[in-house]
């Protein structure tokens, strides 16, 4: 179908998916002009919010600021984004500090021309043609997209889940393991399924391995 005839049709450009290089950009932010490539070597959580001076977004900004020290311990930085101007962002961030007593310690991108939002597919026209959804892109230290989470406009994000995903990905990278449902740091991790009959045999005999069956083994780190 012709995308001009159907404004809700998906954009023709390909959007980043898990495992893809994070699309590069240069953007005006509350911390001045920043390039994504400047963050190489750190993990980055690039997240969008619908609009400044809105209540759910305010609760989220406060909550992101609260987890920022924990993220920094994981070598992970935060970058917010909406289609508001840098002046609006500055005014809102000042208001959050004045009225809520919380300092916003991360840059906020002023994506007035929707350049970054379009690059990352942060606008879901079926939900809103003008505002960015609550998108979260977890980008690793090599600038590869590792996780993508979308929440609707009306649902504030769960910061503990975002923090948990960063921790799980870092544990996965360090130990070549996977993490089970509802995993929290300190709990047993999952061994990826063995790729041969011989590996399956060795797996179940391995010391410290807790196997329900050859394909389902857990261990402590
Ligand atoms: C909010 O942040 O409160 C909000 C923003 C857009 C739609 C609904 C709620």
> Residue 48 maps to which CATH number?
3.40.30.10
Contacts of 192 (CB under 8 A, 6+ apart): 176, 177, 178
164: in domain: no
**What is the distance in angstroms between the CA of the first residue and the CA of the last residue of the chain?**
51
Domain, as residue range, for 35: 26-157
Q: Structure tokens of 41? A: 């070597």
Whether residue 32 contacts residue 121, with contact meaning beta carbons closer than 8 Å, is answered with: no
How remote is the CA of residue 134 from the centroid of ligand 1, in Å?
10
C-alpha distances in Å from residue 21, one per residue of 10, 56, 58, 87: 21, 30, 30, 31
How remote is the CA of residue 154 from the centroid of ligand 1, in Å?
6
In this structure, the answer to whether residues 191 and 93 fall within a common structural domain is no
Q: Which of 47, 48, 49, 51 to mutate to test the pocket of ligand 1 (most atoms within 8 A of CB)?
A: 51
pTM: 0.92
Q: Please tell me the total count of domains within the chain.
A: 2
In this structure, the answer to whether residues 200 and 152 fall within a common structural domain is no
Return the residue whose CA atom lies nearest to atom 1 of ligand 1: 56
- The domain boundary residue, chosen from 157, 190, 212: 157
Whether residue 14 contacts residue 119, with contact meaning beta carbons closer than 8 Å, is answered with: no
**Which atom of ligand 1 is nearest to 57's Cα?**
2
How remote is the CA of residue 117 from the centroid of ligand 1, in Å?
17
In this structure, the answer to whether residues 188 and 100 fall within a common structural domain is no
Residues in the ligand 1 pocket, defined by CB under 6 Å: 50-51, 54-57, 153-154
191: in domain: yes
**Which atom of ligand 1 is nearest to 59's Cα?**
2
From the CA atom positions of the chain, what is the Rg in Å?
20
Identify the active-site residue in 57, 76, 211, 217: 57
In this structure, the answer to whether residues 64 and 112 fall within a common structural domain is yes
> Residue 193 maps to which CATH number?
3.30.1020.10
57 is catalytic: yes
Q: Which of 50, 92, 134 to mutate to test the pocket of ligand 1 (most atoms within 8 A of CB)?
A: 50
Please report the DSSP string for 140-184 in residue order.
-TTSBEEEEEEE-TTS---HHHHHHHHHHHHHHHHHT-B--TT--
Phi, psi (deg, nearest 5) at residue 45: -105, 110
pLDDT in tens, the chain (221 residues): 444 455 555 454 689 999 999 999 999 999 999 999 999 999 999 999 999 999 999 999 999 999 999 999 999 999 999 999 999 999 999 999 999 999 999 999 999 999 999 999 999 999 999 999 999 999 999 999 999 999 999 999 999 999 999 999 999 999 999 999 999 999 999 999 899 999 999 988 989 999 999 999 999 99
4: in domain: no
82: in domain: yes
**Which atom of ligand 1 is nearest to 51's Cα?**
5
Q: pLDDT tens for residues 177-188?
A: 999 999 999 999
């Amino acid at each position: 179908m012709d995308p001009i005839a159907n404004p809700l049709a998906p954009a023709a450009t390909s959007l980043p998916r898990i495992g893809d290089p994070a699309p590069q950009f240069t953007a005006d932010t509350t911390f001045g002009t920043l390039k994504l490539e400047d963050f190489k070597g750190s993990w980055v959580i690039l997240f969008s919010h619908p609009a400044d001076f809105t209540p759910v977004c305010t609760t989220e900004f406060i909550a992101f600021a609260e987890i920022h020290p924990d993220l920094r311990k994981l070598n992970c930085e935060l970058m917010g984004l909406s289609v508001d101007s840098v002046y609006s962002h500055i005014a809102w961030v000042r208001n959050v500090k004045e009225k809520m007593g919380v300092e916003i310690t991360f840059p906020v991108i002023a994506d007035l021309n929707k350049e970054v939002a379009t690059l990352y597919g942060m606008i879901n026209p079926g939900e809103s043609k003008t505002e960015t959804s609550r998108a979260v892109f977890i980008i690793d230290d090599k600038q590869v997209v590792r996780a993508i989470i979308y929440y609707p406009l009306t649902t504030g994000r769960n910061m503990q889940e975002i923090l948990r995903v960063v921790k799980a990905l870092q544990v996965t990278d360090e130990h070549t393991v996977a993490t089970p449902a509802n995993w929290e740091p300190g709990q047993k991790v999952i061994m990826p399924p063995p790729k041969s009959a011989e590996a399956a045999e060795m797996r179940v005999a391995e010391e410290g391995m807790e196997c329900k069956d050859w394909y389902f083994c857990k261990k402590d780190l």
